[in-house]
Structure 1
């Protein structure tokens, strides 16, 4: 018997949490505190580097493109592409390429060098995470997400928020220090809750924004406000977006989504309400699904749901009790 055919078995799964995915990068938070560690890696001949420019990374047919860090750094500096920042991402911790234990640097450049130039091979291209995530392995996915998060922070936090003086980069790119008042500034992460809402009859509530006749449906989500607990944010956001009162909620897992700086905190919640009233702003349509209805709607093309890259899909399939089959192209 499948999970979809047994609501009792599927509901039992709601008492568990999402599986923990192993880290693919050893970030070496202690190592990066050593003064001059980035310069040492550039001179070592062992480090590799990926490149990000304007929120896109260099990728090849095999995934992220990596160059030899020292020569690539010198070439980028000489190319006059605007400010170049070197950031230590960590060492690889899983079976992939580069090999396990390889130090990885991130170079951010203001202007992207053209593939096929002296800096970048012709078979590389610039691409955003969403464009290539489906062909990245676990290690390259982890590196792309980490690199996106830290590069976004550097791009938007160049000056001291207290006095406006340009800040200096320290700790392998993970601290910016103000030379005027000596204040330290660290990368920012914005917590957001993302929720599967289950009604009194076991059906799942999904919603969507944009045109009211659009086909895309997903879990409900929103940012946590200052002074608010995660659970309070779940209750408030669900009430605001679809007019449903949450009676209980449980944390299941999280996913970094640094576009620009979110950490998605996944919950499942229950309600005694059977009616949903979209707010018409963030959510323009909301609909309840049984397991059979959801799978049938996806296979028929009536609706689309979140891709497997997102925690939203993991939360939906956690409620479903197994893999939801997608409509084949």
Structure 2
């Protein structure tokens, strides 16, 4: 961040206690802490918890988790329920926080949840090219390699002692 988001003046760095050197606007006389995006992603299980829904989007062939940004004025739970409903038309029967990670490429803190959908009957919107339910034991083989999506699934499996070959 080089310029003030309020007045447009160039920022300088100024000491701010424990935070150290922080961007500061001398015109507005305020510190300008770096901003980032917040998003959710979801490991969506079917009602019997033996399959996980993976999607493909925007012409890519990689299988990924449902994800989306948290809108202004919205909390993570609302974004989670909205994104799943918008992208695949499923209702959330149960959800639980799994983990989070900062994704540098998009300057986004992603909050990952585990969800149990009320049914397997999905309906895709224009953002999603394909979706498919995969048996739990196959998910790590078909999800995008070296991705944050795969990492979230692996962490969930480890925490819950789910063994897959």
- The bucket for the TM-score relative to the shorter chain is 0.7 to 0.9
| 2:5 aligned with 1:161 | yes
Distance 1:174 1:288 in 2: 49
Aligned to 1:216, the other structure's residue is in SS state: coil
1:210 alignment partner in structure 2:
58
CA distance in 2, matches of 1:174, 1:223: 29
Preserved CA contact (<8 Å) 2:137 2:164: no
**Alignment match, 2:70:** 224
Kindly state the Cα deviation for residue 319 of structure 1 after the two structures are TM-superposed: 4.7
Q: Provide the C-alpha distance between the structure 2 equivalents of 1:233 and 1:184, rounded to a whole number of angstroms.
A: 29
Displacement of 1:316 after TM fit?
Answer: 2.3
Alpha-carbon contact 1:268-1:315 (below 8 Å) kept: no
- Cα distance between partner residues in 2 of 1:174 and 1:264: 26
The runs of 5 or more residues in structure 2 that have no matched partner are none
Q: Which has the higher strand share?
A: 2
Name the SS of the counterpart of 1:235 in structure 2. Answer: helix
Residue number in structure 1 paired with 2:131? 286
CA shift, 1:215, in A, is 3.6
Q: Following TM superposition, by how much is the alpha carbon of 1:269 offset from its aligned partner in structure 2, in angstroms?
A: 0.7
Is contact 1:177–1:185 with CA below 8 Å preserved after alignment? Answer: yes
Q: Give the Cα–Cα distance (whole angstroms) in 1 for the partners of residues 73 and 27 of structure 2.
A: 31
Name the structure 2 match of 1:239.
Answer: 85
Determine the C-alpha separation between the residues in 2 that align with 1:263 and 1:198. Answer: 23
| SS, match of residue 217 in structure 1 | coil
Listed one character per residue, the Cα deviations across residues 10-35 of structure 1 (whole Å, up to 9, x for unaligned) are: xxxxxxxxxxxxxxxxxxxxxxxxxx
Flag the 1:170–1:259 CA change in 2: closer, same or farther, 3 A.
farther
Structure 2 SS opposite 1:276: coil
- Equivalent position of 1:56 in the other structure: none
Is the helix fraction higher in 1 or 2?
Answer: 1
Q: Which structure is higher in RCO with an 8 Å CA cutoff and minimum separation 6?
A: 2
CA contact (8 A) 2:43 2:115 kept: yes
Residue 199 of structure 1 deviates from its aligned partner by: 0.9
Alpha-carbon distance between aligned partners in 1 of 2:137 and 2:147, rounded to the nearest angstrom: 23
- Bigger CA radius of gyration: 1
Equivalence for 1:201: 48
Contact kept, 8 Å, 1:174 with 1:186, in 2: the verdict is no
- Which runs of no fewer than 5 residues in structure 1 stay unpaired? 1-156, 299-303, 325-329
Q: TM-score, normalised by structure 1?
A: 0.44
* Inter-partner Cα distance in structure 1 for 2:103 and 2:163: 24
- CA deviations on 1:153-182 (whole Å, 9 max, x unpaired) are xxxx21112211111023487521112221
Runs of 4+ off more than 4 Å: none
C-alpha RMSD of the superposition:
2.2
Cα pair 2:54 2:143 within 8 Å, conserved: no
TM-aligned CA distance change 1:216 to 1:260, over 3 Å: closer
Matched with 1:23 is none
